[in-house]
Chain A
């Protein structure tokens, strides 16, 4: 039996709604950058726009002397691209920087703005390396955001230097980051694949090994479970640089691939660290699967509505991190507000008696996997109908 018609209708409506919000928010955020560009060289006489990413600042009204070229540089931040307006003088020195757009968590960005990083970036030459802690000041506790700002400044300064016909040395290609989290993730997917086979006799043991490894490595060591921010990033088209983000590609690509081929979820039951934490609590308290028959549909739809709202907010603000409401960081890094700690406490206590309360009633990943499953099934049915209708030649 297929899913109810209402599920298909609401899934389609949700996809259309996300698409509409995507388009409207894209139009809304095409802001005029001139005020930001002006902040980089307030002493210039006036500024001309050459193209969408390049500006010329003049020292005088007659335009006889260049003051600076200003280019918009971009780099991957934690939540998406970070763009900075970078002013470079005719000899290639950075004379001013202003952040044009960012998707970073406010607390981290404020930490960066409160540090000496911005001022240490000014005075650098376009052909410097802009390496944190060596060429420019690092920022403790906001490394990703600080790195994005330094890289965006480097990119902008090189773009501006090209406009001055300064000699440009091609930057070294980014180093491929392939370490412990990537290796462990591949191993966990492999264990899940083998463990799923009906003839495999040690499914239960394999699942526990996979879970505990996921809890320790993907949870406590690297805090990198699948979050709604990953999904929103995908929806927004913020595809990070593959060389430095292989983990993201393996995780999202692996889940989508296994779902498409096998219709099985390789992640939630096998390597999700937060799921494993609940399973451990359940093993201590003797938790049971409890399905509240009276409110089953209500709870499913509440979970879906919360997830849809969070995705729509992330898309509207074009910031994947803003609506990610999971408690993963609260558990694995002990970072979060008192409200988040209260919610985490309730979830962990409930997990003593109910199997995986977070996954079953609150986690945003479940509605997303439901949607993938529904889409797969619908496409498959349509395909089968179409091939049956095709007359044999």
Chain B
């Protein structure tokens, strides 16, 4: 009886650890996803927001 209780408790712990890992991993992946969105946005910064020019402070206004 005591042995079966120990086995059951061990099984429960295994499941708790698995669920814990899955939940935290899910959160980390969700956060990673938002990082990647930021990375993709980097290539889409409008011209002029990454540059400065002495004559034309808003250089984007002079680009074709």
A residues engaging B (CB < 8 A)? 35-36, 38-43, 87, 93-99, 102, 106-107, 109, 113, 118-119, 121-123, 290, 292-295, 298-299, 302, 306, 310, 313, 317, 319, 322-323, 325, 337, 339-340, 342-343, 346-347, 350, 354, 357, 361-362
Contacts and interface: CB of A to CB of B under 8 A. Distances in A.
Contacts, number: 133
Contacts of B52: 96-98, 118-119, 121-122
A278 to B, nearest CB: 13
Nearest to B53: A96
Interface in B13-64: 13-14, 17-18, 20-21, 23-25, 27-32, 34-36, 38-39, 41-42, 45, 47-57, 59-60, 62-63
A33 to B, nearest CB: 13
A35 B63 CA distance: 10
Contacts of B47: 35, 39
Contact of A299 (B13, B17, B23, B27): B17
A119 B14 contact: no
B23 A362 contact: no
A151 B28 CA distance: 34
A121 B39 CA distance: 26
A347 to B, nearest CB: 6
Given A95-B55, A322-B36, 5 more contacts: A39-B59, A98-B51, A322-B38, A322-B39, A343-B27
A107 B38 CA distance: 9
Contacts of A113: 45, 49-50
Given A42-B62, A325-B28, A339-B30, A295 B18 contact: yes
25 contacts: A39-B48, A39-B50, A42-B56, A42-B62, A96-B54, A98-B52, A106-B38, A106-B41, A106-B42, A122-B52, A294-B11, A295-B14, A299-B21, A317-B36, A319-B39, A322-B35, A322-B38, A323-B32, A325-B32, A337-B34, A342-B27, A346-B23, A346-B27, A357-B21, A362-B25
A92 to B, nearest CB: 13
B17 to A, nearest CB: 5
Nearest to B60: A39
Interface of B: 10-11, 13-14, 17-18, 20-21, 23-25, 27-32, 34-36, 38-39, 41-42, 45, 47-57, 59-60, 62-63
A294 B32 CA distance: 28
Given A294-B14, A362-B24, A98 B31 contact: no
Given A41-B53, A97-B51, A325 B31 contact: yes
Given A39-B47, A362-B28, A292 B17 contact: yes
A169 to B, nearest CB: 23
B32 A310 contact: yes
A35 B46 CA distance: 12
A40 B63 CA distance: 10
A306 B25 contact: yes
A224 to B, nearest CB: 20
B51 A118 contact: yes
Nearest to A327: B28
Contacts of B57: 119
Contacts of A319: 39
A42 B51 CA distance: 11
A112 to B, nearest CB: 10
A292 B14 contact: yes
B7 to A, nearest CB: 11
Contact of A302 (B20, B25, B62): B25
Given A98-B51, A106-B42, A325-B31, A290 B13 contact: yes
